């Protein structure tokens, strides 16, 4: 099904053939790269652009290389727009963006108040951790992934005790908090108010 085409299958290395999309320099560069030890996907990109340059249709290229129409279309367009030199621009596979240094910094941030880093709020959120780390490392990670990393490290953006979040101090010294069930009166002591019986 999928085949690897050598330089002899896709135009001769030194042939003066004028292609449909590529310049002579681009064609030679792609053919030279085909000689290198490349992964199947990178090799396929080069072959798609070279076959498109020879005038092959998307369907013919898909059949010859066993690639998806989407992949063929993308790399045909790259050749058409003179972007053949960017054949390595879209890395294959998911990059490993998070390294030990990133994880160490994440742990350090969560262990300290955001105010220490110039933020006006008192508690980190996954979204703000992601924004701060994106500034430092240039790596953008979704808040869900930040939470996943924190969980793996045994950390969280949630406060350590629920009691700390339940009690809010007002500026005049009044303390507002949740009532504990031990402080509630018995049901018989509660006064039941029914507004429908008033009228």
The residues spanned by each domain of the chain are: 1-93, 100-157
Phi-psi region of 82 (alpha: psi -120 to 50; beta: other; left: phi over 0): left
pLDDT of residue 134: 85
Which residues of the chain have a pLDDT value below 50? 1-2, 6-8, 11-15, 162-166, 170
| C-alpha span between 180 and 60 (Å, rounded) | 73
- The partner residues of 23 in beta bridges, in order of sequence, read none
Residues 6+ apart with CB under 8 A from 81: none
Distances, alpha carbon 95 to alpha carbons 24, 123, 134, 139, 154, in Å:
33, 30, 15, 11, 24
The answer to whether the Cα torsion of 166, 168, 173, 176 is positive or negative is: negative
For Cα atoms 64, 70, 79, give the angle at the middle one, nearest 5 degrees.
Answer: 75
- Return the structure tokens found at 71: 């992949």
pLDDT of residue 189: 53
Q: To 10 degrees, what angle do helices 100-111 and 126-137 make?
A: 130
Q: Which of 92, 94, 14, 5 is nearest to 49 (CA)?
A: 5
The model's pTM: 0.42
- Return the structure tokens found at 73: 């279309």
């Amino acid at each position: 099904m999928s085949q690897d085409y050598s330089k002899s299958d896709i135009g001769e290395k030194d042939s003066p053939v004028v292609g449909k999309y590529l310049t002579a320099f681009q064609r030679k560069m792609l053919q030279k790269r085909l000689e290198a030890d490349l992964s199947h996907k990178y090799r396929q990109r080069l072959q798609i652009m070279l076959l498109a340059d020879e005038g092959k249709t998307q369907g013919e290229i898909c059949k010859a290389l066993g690639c998806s129409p989407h992949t063929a279309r993308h790399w045909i367009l790259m050749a058409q727009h003179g972007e053949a030199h960017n054949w390595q621009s879209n890395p294959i596979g998911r990059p490993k963006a998070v390294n030990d240094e990133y994880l160490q910094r994440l742990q350090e941030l969560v262990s300290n108040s955001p105010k220490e880093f110039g933020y006006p709020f008192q508690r980190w959120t996954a979204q703000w951790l992601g924004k701060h780390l994106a500034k430092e490392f240039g790596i953008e990670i979704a808040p869900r992934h930040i939470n996943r990393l924190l969980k793996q490290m045994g950390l969280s953006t949630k406060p350590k005790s629920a009691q700390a979040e339940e009690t809010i101090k007002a500026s005049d010294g009044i303390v507002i908090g949740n009532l504990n069930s031990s402080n509630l009166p018995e049901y018989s002591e509660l006064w039941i108010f029914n507004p429908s019986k008033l009228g």
